[in-house]
Amino acid sequence: MNLLSLVGRHNRLLVQDLKDYGKELDEIVNKSKFLVIGGAGSIGQEVVKQIFRRNPKLLHVIDISENNLAEIVRDLRSSYGYTDGETEFFPLDFTSREFDVFWQAKANYDYVLNLSALKHVRSDQFVFTLMRMINVNIAGTDHSMKLAQEHGVKKYFAVSSDKAKNPANLMGSTKCIMEDILFTNPYETTCSTARFANVAFSDGSLLHGFRQRLLKNQPISAPSDIARYFIIPEEAGELCLMSTIFGEHKDIFFPKENSEELKLTNFPSIARAYLEHMGYEAVEVNSEEEARTRVHELSAVKKWPCYFFKSDTSGEKPFEEFYADDDIVNWDRFEDIGIVKWQGLGANVFERTQEFLEEYHNLRKSDNWQREQVVEMIKKACPSLSYIDTGKFLSGRM
């Protein structure tokens, strides 16, 4: 399946950049030791592949999903075989005590890449998932940076999101706060990150949902008024590795969108292209009920019901952005990569983020969690958040 054509694109990003920096990238990876946290997720797997095929001195991969870890081992062995160095996979939660002891026993990494994240806006709905989102996206990042400093890590990378810039939802704001913590940390470790677009057909994404709906003989549903940038998984892995190796402290890498190759694309156009690729014609219907009841009728004549609707759920933003007009952006270093130099919003960013972490840890010790309280904590720590709670959430959609 040509993922590029399905999201309205024609050519791969980063081709020239990998030509220009490929030899240096290969040499650095080959002589270095890597720890990849969250390495069995959609983006994590691509990062692991990028490192593995360059024959690193050591590669340790951590993820909470032992099933996904087993699959990436099979994938790597089937595609590339083996490396000259040590490659091991560990089903661990990086926010756990077991992970701390693991790092104490293993340590001695040159590069740490944190790809672990709760990335769904739908996790904004409940206080329990909000607290876990903070634990993974923010507190876990802070703690693993501390471990990196204690063990002399050369470089720490944590993945961000285009939803972190002027966030409209709580998930995006946790990534915004993560960036602030990343770049004001007192641990004296060089840190960089990457914001990138939606990764086409990655696990849990709406486009992955299109694929699942056909497999399960179910209708397709998508918002009609939301546009996103789309990159493919390989590009996500390459961008993260480029930021890890070549990013300086406070660098935020992002794919340049100022070309014909990367532009905002809406979901209905991708749904139609995907269905056409699969041999079906998209038929727009007027309700979820009509979509559900007409699947068998339409699929029998190579058509498929699609319900496209105006978004009204909490935290939705019509389009995402990688940077603002007043950001300092380096457009010249790479062909397809822009670099925002993090500045932070407002005064006393360090004090603000440390106060947030203290409030979070104190609240976590209690048994009385209120969503309103957590939302206010997030708003205080992320002044750029423009969150509108409509009382409706994605779990209420088909």
Find the helix or strand (DSSP H, E) in which 134 lies. Answer: helix 127-134
Question: What pLDDT does 284 receive?
Answer: 96
Find the helix or strand (DSSP H, E) in which 373 lies. Answer: helix 371-381
Q: What is the block-wise mean pLDDT of the chain (398 residues), using blocks of 10 residues?
A: 80 94 98 97 94 98 96 96 96 96 92 92 90 96 95 96 90 95 90 89 82 95 87 93 97 83 85 94 96 96 95 75 90 96 87 96 95 95 87 76
Question: What pLDDT does 388 receive?
Answer: 78
For the chain, the average pLDDT equals 92
In DSSP terms, 87 is beta-bridged to: 59
Question: What pLDDT does 342 receive?
Answer: 95
Look up residue 327 and give its amino acid.
D
Domain boundaries, given as residue ranges, for the chain: 14-200+231-263+319-398
- Whole-number Å distance between alpha carbons of 382 and 384: 6
Residue keyed to tokens 């691509």: 46
C-alpha distance from residue 80 to each of 31, 71, 216 (Å): 18, 14, 32
C-alpha distance from residue 138 to each of 66, 159, 181, 390 (Å): 23, 11, 8, 25
Question: What pLDDT does 395 receive?
Answer: 75
The CATH number of 14-200+231-263+319-398 is which of 3.30.1330.200, 3.40.50.720, 3.60.21.10, 3.40.50.300? 3.40.50.720
Name the pTM for this structure.
0.93
Question: What pLDDT does 259 receive?
Answer: 59
Residues 185-212: tens digit of each pLDDT: 888 889 999 998 788 878 778 888 899 9
Residue keyed to tokens 């500045």: 343
Question: What pLDDT does 206 receive?
Answer: 80
Output the six-digit token pair for 231. Answer: 């990159």
Q: Are 271 and 222 in contact (CB under 8 A)?
A: yes
